[in-house]
């Protein structure tokens, strides 16, 4: 009977210690690391609001270490910390994944004598990784400027894939692109479709000499030049940037029409078409 009692006591298992939450250091570490909570369990017990608050707290605690506020030998450049914070504030669910990986990086430094630069490099790459394929600046606003006929591409309006941009130029304002040339507007010189071959920026059959034209450049550097004239709608095939100019090869001899002391200035508007 005594033997069975001793065997029973010896077989009794003890529950493992719960995982630490918050700032914690193992024996021999040079500093503490932030141990995030079990976010899913927190929501299960306390609700979604508690999970969201736990995310925010984890971000604030990790940021305090990244920025050097804990004075534990860790301090990363402010732009690295701020860029990552901006991205995570817009994607709070990613904080849960980042917090666990951050704990691993911290353990490598505090517990294994790893190089903090590896940690910093990982943090610096996160904004691009988390936003890969996303467009941060959709065309949801109207941009207005006056056409600079004495210069090349201008305005530089960012758009996202499938954004439809309505580009408009004022038809009443006149200019000319040679000293003795005709006065024209954004529709260009009549009868000069596809002028002078490849030396012009826009070589499509519908492009005229001196007309308002647009250029789209994707994030990958793919370029598309298209006619605008008085108005057109361009749908972006990818994330990129729209600029405008006139279909000309030299700009030094371009002049706006002047009458009675009033000088014409062509207005350009780029706005959402959808």
Q: Tens digits of per-residue pLDDT, 177-230? A: 999 999 999 999 998 886 555 678 998 989 999 999 999 999 899 999 999 999
**Percentage above 90 pLDDT, the chain:** 80
CA–CA dist 136, 37 (Å, integer): 30
Closest CA to 212 of 247, 252, 262, 241: 247
Residue 135 pLDDT > 70, yes or no?
yes
- Length of the chain as a residue count: 274
DSSP secondary structure, 156-217, as one string: EEEE-TT-EEEEEE-SS--EESSTTSPPB-TT-STT-SSTTGGGSS--STT--TT-EEEEEE
Name the H helices within the chain. 2-11, 39-46, 48-66, 78-90, 94-110, 116-131
Residue 238 pLDDT > 60, yes or no?
yes
DSSP 131: H
Residue 213, classed as helix, strand or coil, is strand
CA–CA dist 33, 53 (Å, integer): 19
Does this model's pTM top 0.75? My answer is no
pLDDT score at 4: 43
CA–CA dist 129, 26 (Å, integer): 31
């Amino acid at each position: 009977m005594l033997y069975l009692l001793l065997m029973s006591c010896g077989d009794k298992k003890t529950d493992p210690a719960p995982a630490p939450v918050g700032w914690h250091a193992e024996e021999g570490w040079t500093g503490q690391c932030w141990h995030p909570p079990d976010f899913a369990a927190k929501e299960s017990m306390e609700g979604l609001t508690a999970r969201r608050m736990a995310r925010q707290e984890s971000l604030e605690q990790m940021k305090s270490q990244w920025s050097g506020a804990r004075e534990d030998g860790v301090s990363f450049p402010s732009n690295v910390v701020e860029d990552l914070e901006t991205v995570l504030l817009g994607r709070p669910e990613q904080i849960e994944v980042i917090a666990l990986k951050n704990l691993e990086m911290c353990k490598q430094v505090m517990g294994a004598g790893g190089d903090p630069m590896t940690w910093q490099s990982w943090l610096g790459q996160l904004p691009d990784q988390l936003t890969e394929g996303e467009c941060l600046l959709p065309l949801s606003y109207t941009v207005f400027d006056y056409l600079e006929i004495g210069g090349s591409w201008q305005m530089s309006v960012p758009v996202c894939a499938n954004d439809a941009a309505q580009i408009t130029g004022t038809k009443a304002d006149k200019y000319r692109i040679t000293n003795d040339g005709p006065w024209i507007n954004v529709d260009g010189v009549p009868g000069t479709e596809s002028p002078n071959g490849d030396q012009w920026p826009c070589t499509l059959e519908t492009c005229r000499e001196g007309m308002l034209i647009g250029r789209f450049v994707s994030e990958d550097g793919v370029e598309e030049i298209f006619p605008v004239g008085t108005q057109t709608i361009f749908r972006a095939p990818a994330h990129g940037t729209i600029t405008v100019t006139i279909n000309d090869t030299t700009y030094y001899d371009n002049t706006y029409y002047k009458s009675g002391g009033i000088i014409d200035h062509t207005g350009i508007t780029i706005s959402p078409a959808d």
